[in-house]
Amino acid sequence: MRILIADDESIIRMGLKSILQELGHEVLAATNGREALEMARRHHPDLAILDIKMPFTDGLQAAKTLARTQPMPILLLTAFSEQDLIDKATDLPIHGYLIKPVKPEELSAAITVAHKRFLESQALKEEADKLADALETRKLLDKAKARLMATGLSEEEAYKTLQQQARNGRISLRAVATAILKQKPS
């Protein structure tokens, strides 16, 4: 897995890099959040581990930006277990919060869980998008069918008309319904 790490403390950054490489990962190392965002844009990592308190762009802001522009599993790493930071972190789409110093086995487990949860959340998002699209299509079909029924067709005849136009035009039912709804009612 290609993992982006960002920490302004070189000793922590080198230690993380070493642990991750020993675990078999390719590592991209940044010294601050701004550099991490640039590296993510260029190298498309599979996961990010971000220190919270860094200069220029902190880990919280970097996580927020990454989640919006390049969705991936994100772990926050900090030497601080302050409730305020934890509260801010819970408002972000992150997949873990680790307290320094982190042990190799803890890091490995956190990466595995974060990656799995991310894949699950992406699958759920895709399913929700499909369902929303299907619902929108259903609403358009019902409106188009009602428009056709206003001309004297039965519900069954209206639906068959929609199907026939879709077949004849080799287009989707949604496209037929949209075209009918764009026409002025007679």
Question: What is the reported pLDDT for 186?
Answer: 65
Over residues 137-184, the pLDDT tens digits come to 999 999 999 999 999 999 999 999 999 999 999 999 999 999 999 988
Q: Containing domain of residue 166, as a range? A: 128-182
Counting the structural domains of the chain, the total is: 2
Residues 39 and 98 in one domain: yes
Mean pLDDT of the chain: 93
Residues 27 and 92 in one domain: yes
pTM of the full structure:
0.76
Over residues 124-141, the pLDDT tens digits come to 999 999 999 999 999 999
Backbone angles phi, psi at 172, to 5 degrees: -75, 160
Residues 88 and 18 in one domain: yes
The CATH number given to whatever domain includes residue 94 is 3.40.50.2300
CB-CB contact of 63 with 50 (8 Å): yes
The candidate with the shortest Cα–Cα distance to 27, out of 8, 11, 46, 12, is 46
- Cβ neighbours of residue 71 closer than 8 Å, sequence gap 6 or more: 93, 118, 122
* Rounded Cα–Cα distance for residues 105 and 86 (Å): 22
Q: Look at the block and give the residue holding tokens 């590296």.
A: 39
CA dihedral over 50, 56, 61, 65, signed as positive or negative = negative
For the record, the structure tokens of 174 come out as 């949604």
- Cβ atoms < 10 Å from Cβ of 183: 9
* Rounded Cα–Cα distance for residues 19 and 9 (Å): 16
Q: Which DSSP string do the residues of 132-156 spell out, in sequence order?
A: HHHHHHHHHHHHHHHHHHTTT--HH
Residues 82 and 13 in one domain: yes
